Structures are given as structure tokens and as C-alpha cells.
């Protein structure tokens, strides 16, 4: 029988850039949460590894043989002799190159399905290494639960039980290349920005307390991303202008932005308001966890 898993949108509620390491990677601190909006991945067990991609945003996902799903599967196969695989089918719904970790979340879902199919723990050392090899954002997407992500993505904090967070995700239909945004940031290898540590985020916070702490954080990639894609400013302003929005910010390296709201009804009303004014934007009310 086929196995199925959601690949939820990864939302960087904060994203602090602390500097750039001598190896060229940027040193980050980010509070990551995951949305109800998602891609869908299925695995039909079989002798050979394969992938088919369909869905509304499939045309922008790149060649199937270089998709992060197959790259993650091959990375795990190289570490686990006799790993059972099969035919993956990916339904793409999330914006591609949109700052919501769509490809990384697809890879995380692939590793979850292979773990289920082979009786592996999600903390299996080979699986963790395969996630790291596949991409910087893939390790946090394996369990797809809220937590702090640090370093270049390889260091994960404990899972966090966040209070309810209701959000509207908006992408203006513009793909933003992550490398270009980091290049626009302009840090040299070995450069340390000496910024203060991220505001602590822990279990047991109320929604009000969490929002207050988020106000003390930022996304350091938002300013360079706005220079690369000025429409991001329009999206953030549109979210902030809905009236009930408590915080409007860009996710990841853009161009997807999010607005946080006190209730699901306010989020749904804001999404409906934005759809009327911007019918060509991708707009999703959702809950984050």
C-alpha cells in the first residue's frame, strides 16, 4: 500500500544572521514553525527509486532526477545497505523558490516516508546525516515541528510546543534566488556581526508573550530581499494594512511573507480582503505549529 506524508511550508518567524563562517556558510539563528499549507508526497513501495511530480506549481520545480526528494533518498540509500524504496509521487502546491522551504520540506517528507517504510527512527544517525547532506534546511523539515534552527541549519534546538498562531501566507508570484539574497547581504567569509543573541523562546508561552518576543526579533534577509524583489515591500505593507495584523514579516529569503493574527476568523477575513485586491497573488490562511 502507498504511504503518504504532508510536506508543510516552513516559516521562519525570525531569521538572524550573525555572520559568515570561514567556510562561506552564514551563521544563523531562526525560530521555525510549520504551516497547514503543504505539498503532498506519496511512496508506493517497489524495487526501483523513481519520482513523478504534478500539481499547480510543478512546472517550476525543476527536473525530477535532481529533485530534493530523490537526492534525499539517494543520500539515505548510500548509508543504509538494502534500504527499501519505491515510486514517489509529489504534488506541488507551495510556491517554488518562495522562502517557505518547499523543496527542503519535500525532502524531509521523503525521509519520513522511507523511515516509516524501513522501520527507522527519525533520529537515526544515518538519516540525520542524509538530511544534512541534502540541504541546510532539510534537517529541521524531517520532523516538521517548531524549534530553533542555528548554524547553517545543522544545529537544532528541542521541539517547541508553541501556542496557537494564526497566519496568512502571501507570495506575489515572484521567485527569489536564495544565493542572490545572501550575496546582496554582502558579508565576507569570516565576518562576524557581533549581534546580540536571539530572544529566548521556550515552551509554555502564551500567544501574547510569544508575539511580544517575536517583536524583538527580525529577519535580516528582508532588507536585501526587498532590493532584489521590491514587490516584497508591497506584500508586507498589504498584510500590515489589513487592520487586525499583529506582525507582518518576510519568511526565509522571500518572497513569501506572513501576517500573524489573534484568531483564525481574523486571518480568514484578512485573506479574503487581500484576494479581492490582489487576485494574482498566492494567499493562504493557515495555522502554524
Angle between helices 68-77 and 125-134 (to 10 degrees): 140
Let me know: does 182 contact 253? Beta carbons within 8 Å: yes
C-alpha grid cell, residue 165? 498562531
Task: Look up 10 and say whether it is catalytic.
Answer: yes
Q: How far, in Å, CA of 8 to CA of 106, rounded?
A: 8
- Choosing from 39, 137, 220, 284, the catalytic residue is 137
d(CA 190, CA 72): 30
DSSP string, 142-184: HHT--EEEEETTTEE-----PPPEEEEEEE-S----HHHHHHH
283 and 275 in contact (C-beta within 8 Å)? yes
Residues 10, 92, 220, 284: which is the catalytic one? 10
Residues catalogued as catalytic? 10, 137
Amino acid at each position: 500500500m502507498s504511504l503518504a506524508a504532508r510536506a508543510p511550508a516552513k516559516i521562519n518567524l525570525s531569521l538572524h544572521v550573525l555572520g559568515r563562517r570561514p567556510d562561506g556558510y552564514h551563521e544563523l539563528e531562526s525560530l521555525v514553525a510549520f504551516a497547514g499549507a503543504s505539498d503532498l508526497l506519496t511512496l508506493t513501495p517497489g524495487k526501483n527509486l523513481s519520482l513523478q511530480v504534478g500539481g499547480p506549481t510543478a512546472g517550476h520545480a525543476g527536473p525530477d532526477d535532481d529533485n530534493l526528494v530523490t537526492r534525499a533518498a539517494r543520500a539515505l540509500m548510500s548509508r543504509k545497505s538494502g534500504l527499501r524504496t519505491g515510486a514517489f509521487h509529489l504534488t506541488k502546491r507551495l510556491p517554488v523558490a518562495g522562502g517557505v522551504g518547499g523543496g527542503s520540506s519535500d525532502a524531509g517528507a521523503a525521509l519520513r516516508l522511507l523511515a516509516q517504510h524501513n522501520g527507522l527512527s527519525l533520529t537515526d544517525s544515518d538519516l540525520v546525516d542524509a538530511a544534512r547532506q541534502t540541504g541546510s534546511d532539510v534537517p529541521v523539515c524531517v520532523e516538521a515541528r517548531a524549534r530553533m534552527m542555528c548554524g547553517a541549519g545543522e544545529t537544532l534546538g528541542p521541539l517547541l510546543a508553541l501556542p496557537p498562531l494564526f497566519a496568512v501566507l502571501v507570495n506575489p508570484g515572484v521567485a527569489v534566488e536564495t544565493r542572490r539574497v545572501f550575496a546582496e547581504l554582502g558579508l565576507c567569509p569570516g565576518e562576524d556581526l557581533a549581534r546580540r543573541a536571539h530572544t529566548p523562546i521556550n515552551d509554555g508561552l502564551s500567544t501574547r508573550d510569544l508575539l511580544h518576543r517575536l517583536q524583538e526579533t527580525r529577519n535580516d534577509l528582508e532588507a536585501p530581499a526587498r532590493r532584489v524583489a521590491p514587490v516584497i515591500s508591497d506584500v508586507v505593507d498589504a498584510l500590515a494594512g489589513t487592520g487586525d495584523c499583529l506582525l507582518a514579516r518576510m519568511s526565509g529569503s522571500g518572497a513569501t511573507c506572513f501576517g500573524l493574527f489573534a484568531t483564525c476568523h481574523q486571518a480568514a477575513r484578512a485573506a479574503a480582503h487581500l484576494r479581492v485586491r490582489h487576485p494574482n497573488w498566492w494567499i493562504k490562511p493557515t495555522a502554524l505549529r
